[in-house]
A and B are shown apart, each in its own frame.
Chain A
Amino acid sequence: MNSPAPSTTRAPKKTKIVVWILLAVAIIAAVIGYFVAQNNSTAATPATSDAAATEQQVVRENSRVLSQAPDEKAVLVEFLDFECEACGAAYPFVEELRAEHSDNVTFVQRYFPLPGHLNSMNAAVAVEAAAQQDAYEDMYKKMFDTQTQWGESADNKSALFRTYAEDLGLDMAAYDTAVADPATEERVKLDIADGKALGVTGTPTFFLDGKMLNAQSLDEFKAAVAATAAN
């Protein structure tokens, strides 16, 4: 379609119409694709009830108990990401709390690997695999003790985590099977799903006796735990 030099765009060229139609198709396809993917994922994940933080959802039967209090008065649950610096910073503090209150407070930890951390899922899977051999505490400590060495790396650190398992004297055949088993990742994703349903958006997020603990300072945190432990 040839137009004289001062071309008018009153009648849009055919190509332009085609391009706009293609754009519209792309948008519609994306919208449909989104809803299809949504449906597929909600069919797959376990039906989550309302976001009320009940004891059931905050702690599950299979949640990793860091230490069980013999005289349990309170349960402190931490949703954490092994690659998150804030969790790494909270780690010595949590250990301090544990030393002080392990008689009365049960410490539970749940996986919440964050996106933007390349190895967070790898670390969670590695720790869960170790946990299946009753080495949760040792592996979790190892992860945080070494976090500065592998955190924020752009490389896959699964091989490094495997050496930690070796150092702990784990059954490597069982460890490798667990790491490769999709059920292990599903186990981690279950924690993530519960966390999201409970309104967890970042790590570390703590729940004290089923309610999210939003302390503005370490002292406030300590006081809150001490208060429930004393009751």
Chain B
Amino acid sequence: MSTPATSDTSAGPRDPAIRVPRFARPRTFGFVLLVTGAVGWVASAILVLERLALYENPGHVTSCDVNPWVSCGRVMGTWQSELFGFPNPLIGIVAFALILATAMVVLSGAAPGRWYWAGLQVGVSLGTVFVIWLWSQALFEIYILCLYCMVVWAAMIPLFILLTVRNLVYGVIPAPQVLVRFAAEWAGTLVAIVYVLVAGSVFVRFLPAFTG
């Protein structure tokens, strides 16, 4: 019994009038999860290693200590970098590992049920809220950039947007058809818009630092 490429029956009822965008097809979405999960995981892992090096030797110069405004080492000294009492990147390696595991499951042909996708949505959404808060702290409170942290942002943005659209299309998130169709059409563009806005915000905020 082969599952048609564009349907995912175990994922629940889906409005057949809505065409499934290419990225949201099961196997392709598996790749989306794989790439964003891998990028996020590697960046988090590097941050964990640098943090460990700093614990051992407070004078350690991290591989991303570029100048006073771009320095992971200095960010790691802030309370925001260990909001829950331990370094944030530890959350990253656990959470992105879940994404990678899901990717493996989906790429292998298995089709997780609706509640699984709903759970993933909740997790990724919470992670996104966290990342947004960290972005605001980096730009407006700490005023220092952490390179690998920004790589994690770069992974979270498509992960969140594409997962949300995927869940809208498959009815995991109930929504009016107009909204779902819009989301399906504009998913890629939305990712690009958010990338440009975030990059722009960093650029505008740190321009004096880059050129001063």
Residues of A within 8 A of B (CB): 5-9, 13, 16, 19-20, 23, 26-27, 30, 33-34, 37-38, 40-41, 114-116, 196, 201-202, 214, 216
Contact = CB atoms under 8 A, between A and B. Distances in A.
Contacts of B211: 34, 37-38, 40-41
B115 interface: no
A19 B17 contact: no
B50 to A, nearest CB: 15
B193 A19 contact: yes
A116 B74 CA distance: 10
Contacts of B68: 114-116, 201-202
Interface of B: 17-19, 21, 57, 59, 61, 65-69, 71, 73-74, 142-144, 181, 185-186, 189, 192-193, 196, 199-200, 203, 207, 209-212
Contact of A201 (B65, B186, B192, B207): B65
B212 A202 contact: no
B200 A115 contact: no
A23 B143 CA distance: 26
A196 B210 contact: no
B36 to A, nearest CB: 20
Contacts of A114: 68, 74
Contact of A7 (B65, B185, B193): B185
A111 to B, nearest CB: 13
Contacts of B21: 9
A34 B203 contact: yes
A34 B67 contact: no
Nearest to B144: A116
B196 A26 contact: yes
B189 A6 contact: no
A37 B185 contact: no
Contacts of B181: 7
B62 to A, nearest CB: 11
Contacts of A9: 19, 21, 185
B200 A116 contact: no
A174 to B, nearest CB: 28
13 contacts: A6-B17, A6-B19, A7-B181, A20-B192, A23-B193, A26-B196, A30-B200, A34-B207, A114-B74, A116-B143, A196-B67, A201-B61, A202-B73
Contacts of A20: 189, 192
